[in-house]
């Protein structure tokens, strides 16, 4: 599932691909991607428009075009934007933006868990799905006291709690796994058991995990979505059975909150 770094990379590439180029034609199939609106509105409102800006809040992309036309794009579990020559249509392309120079931007989503919604551009940041998000660790930073206050009010496993988008926007399975390892906190610990000092370590772990990956090449950021085609760039994620990079003990895996969690039983005590 795309997480904050993958969505930030998508925002950067969309800014590049759509820079100063009008959308010659927008096309879309009638799929559940448009469950909040009509696919024909996507075609009508985006045709002829020029991109003004792309914003990201957590895992949500907010595209503003001239004429007060806005597009919310949530990549869901398997969604991504790709650019191809006009004659090359990738698999699972459900919406297209035709551009000058015979290029087409395709929104591809095999499982159709993503969303595309057309709104007024001025309303994008006030949409309920955006307003419900918690602080964005990159855009807003992490207030340790506020995070501690949120965590001490829940008995959920700390990993489940920090993946709640109302607690922190953009954190998913990969970066929760990495951050908890860096902080030396077991992923199954009740969130309310963490001390303020431990939450401070967790905040630093989140910032370090995100910051390191955001500074890496795009192909490493896209590791998960590309099916692991490049070398795994993470410390513990997807490394069950390998030696812990700190103590050398074999990394363990447990399902927590329905997601696989890799951790070190020695460095991350319960």
Residues taking part in catalysis: 2-3, 59, 259
- Cα distances (Å, whole numbers) of residue 125 to 11, 46, 63, 116, 120: 16, 19, 11, 15, 10
Q: What single-letter DSSP state applies at residue 90?
A: P
* Of 179, 177, 178, 184, nearest in space to 198 by CA: 184
Q: Which region, left, alpha or beta, applies to residue 170 given φ > 0 means left and ψ of -120 to 50 means alpha?
A: left
* Of 166, 167, 163, 161, nearest in space to 189 by CA: 161
Mutual angle of helices 196-214 and 4-18, in 10-degree steps: 40
- Cα distances (Å, whole numbers) of residue 50 to 17, 22, 62, 71: 11, 5, 14, 12
């Amino acid at each position: 599932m795309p997480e904050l770094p993958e969505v930030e990379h998508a925002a950067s590439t969309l800014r590049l691909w759509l820079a100063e180029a009008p959308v010659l034609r927008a096309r879309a199939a009638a799929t559940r991607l448009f469950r909040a609106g009509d696919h024909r509105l996507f075609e009508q409102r985006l045709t002829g428009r020029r991109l003004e800006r792309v914003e990201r809040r957590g895992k949500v992309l907010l595209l503003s075009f001239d004429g007060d036309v806005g597009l919310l794009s949530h990549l869901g579990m398997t969604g991504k934007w790709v650019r191809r020559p006009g004659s090359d249509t990738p698999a699972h392309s459900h919406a297209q933006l035709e551009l000058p120079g015979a290029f087409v931007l395709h929104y591809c989503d095999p499982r159709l868990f993503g969303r595309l919604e057309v709104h007024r551009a001025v309303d994008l940041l006030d949409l309920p799905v955006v307003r419900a998000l918690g602080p964005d660790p990159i855009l807003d930073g992490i207030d340790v006291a506020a995070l501690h206050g949120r965590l001490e009010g829940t008995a959920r496993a700390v990993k489940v709690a920090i993946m709640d988008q109302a607690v922190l926007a953009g954190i998913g399975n990969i970066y929760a796994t990495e951050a908890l390892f860096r902080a030396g906190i077991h992923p199954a610990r009740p969130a309310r058991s963490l001390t303020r000092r431990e939450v401070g370590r967790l905040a630093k772990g989140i910032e370090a995990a995100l910051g390191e990956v955001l500074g890496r090449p795009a192909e490493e950021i896209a590791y998960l979505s590309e099916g692991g085609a490049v070398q795994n760039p993470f410390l513990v994620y997807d490394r069950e059975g390998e030696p812990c990079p700190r103590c050398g003990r074999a990394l363990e895996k447990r399902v927590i909150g329905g997601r696989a969690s890799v951790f070190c039983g020695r460095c991350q005590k319960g």
